[in-house]
A = this chain, B = another copy of it.
């Protein structure tokens, strides 16, 4: 164990995701377990620069594991992108005698952390916290499983109306440039079609496919559209196009929006966040830095920030085939 580390800071950065509180709690309690101090930094790198700190003990984080969002709050920081801002942040860390830090966020946050590490030789490990599941080096990110459940529960409700009225619904889901949410939630929600950025189906093949479905006896349909998909990018225009070219269904659009980011985390996300939080402290105490801790094949794994940032996950072709078959 690294004898030098007596105080660890933890912050959340970028978009919030369910399970971030569970991860913070695990970091805090892991520090207590190892008898070192833990400091919470409010509002991400912004609060780091301003020294917006609070000592966190095991009881501070009680009843936090089941809350959505992040009680440390999050923010996007322009100041941290400047040398000056990072300099101030480092001074705050020095002043508070903090020896290492855990950053929970996405690749933007890791980019910032990585620069900071190089500049000040300050130990940081990252945990992947985003619903989008778009980070290289981990099979899943904290919040992703919860978001999938939120999406399928929402579409289950929409399906009630779709069935009752023989309608076609276009449902837009989050995921930035990754189709993970759309593909998995689309399978889970029993979608007839799934439009993802990684594949370009084309509008005409979509129309053809919907015609075949109609012929095969389908009376209502759900199409899940990833926000990053090209033909679904303007989902309202796509709806008009389908109405004009299919002439079989009334078409309706629902943009699920921010309900996907919140909510009590699923058990999976709570356990994942707990495992990663414990590992983050272990890693720092082991002298590690400049890495993200993830999960691969259900085992804790690490990847250098540099790789997590520059690579992206490949489309899972088995899943694409499953989606195709189960929507028969």
| Chain B binder among A1-9, A249-257, A285-293, A306-314 | A249-257
A322 touches which of B255, B275, B327 (Cβ 8 Å): B275
Question: Is A195 positioned at the interface, with any CB of B under 8 Å from its CB?
Answer: no
Question: Is A228 positioned at the interface, with any CB of B under 8 Å from its CB?
Answer: no
B150, A149: Cβ atoms under 8 Å?
A: no
Query: How many A residues, CB 8 Å from partner?
Result: 88
B318, A300: Cβ atoms under 8 Å?
A: yes
A65, B149: Cβ atoms under 8 Å?
A: no
Nearest-Cβ distance from residue A221 to partner chain B, whole angstroms: 11
B262, A160: Cβ atoms under 8 Å?
A: yes
| Chain B binder among A69-77, A94-102, A196-204, A239-247 | A69-77
B157, A261: Cβ atoms under 8 Å?
A: yes
| Chain B binder among A23-31, A48-56, A82-90, A120-128 | A23-31
A270 to B149, CA, bound (A): 10
Residue of A68, A164, A165 contacting most chain B CB atoms (<10 Å)? A164
Chain B residues, Cβ within 8 Å of A149:
149, 266-268
A69, B164: Cβ atoms under 8 Å?
A: yes
Question: Is A78 positioned at the interface, with any CB of B under 8 Å from its CB?
Answer: no
Chain B residues, Cβ within 8 Å of A63:
159, 163, 190
Chain B residues, Cβ within 8 Å of A278:
321-322, 325-326
Question: Is A132 positioned at the interface, with any CB of B under 8 Å from its CB?
Answer: no
A69, B325: Cβ atoms under 8 Å?
A: no
Residues A146-199 near B (CB distance < 8 A): 148-154, 156-161, 163-166, 169, 184-185, 187-190
Q: Given A59-B218, A185-B267, verify A274-B70 contact (CB < 8 Å).
A: no
Question: Is A277 positioned at the interface, with any CB of B under 8 Å from its CB?
Answer: yes
Query: Across the two chains, which residue of chain B brings its CB closest to A148?
Result: B267
Chain B residues, Cβ within 8 Å of A211:
none
Query: Across the two chains, which residue of chain B brings its CB closest to A158?
Result: B258
Chain B residues, Cβ within 8 Å of A270:
152, 187-190
Chain B residues, Cβ within 8 Å of A322:
26, 271, 274-275, 278
A263, B190: Cβ atoms under 8 Å?
A: no
A70, B326: Cβ atoms under 8 Å?
A: no
Chain B residues, Cβ within 8 Å of A148:
266-268
Query: Across the two chains, which residue of chain B brings its CB closest to A153?
Result: B264
Chain B residues, Cβ within 8 Å of A275:
318-319, 322
Contact surface of A with B, Cβ cutoff 8 Å: 12, 15-16, 18, 20, 25-26, 29-30, 32-33, 43, 58-59, 62-63, 65-70, 73-75, 139, 145, 148-154, 156-161, 163-166, 169, 184-185, 187-190, 216-218, 252-264, 266-268, 270-271, 274-275, 277-278, 297-298, 300, 318-319, 321-322, 324-328
A-B contact pairs, 30 of them (CB 8 A): A16-B160, A25-B326, A26-B325, A29-B325, A29-B328, A33-B324, A33-B325, A65-B188, A66-B189, A69-B163, A73-B165, A74-B164, A148-B267, A148-B268, A156-B262, A156-B264, A157-B262, A158-B259, A160-B261, A161-B258, A184-B271, A188-B271, A188-B274, A189-B270, A253-B257, A254-B257, A254-B258, A271-B322, A278-B326, A300-B318
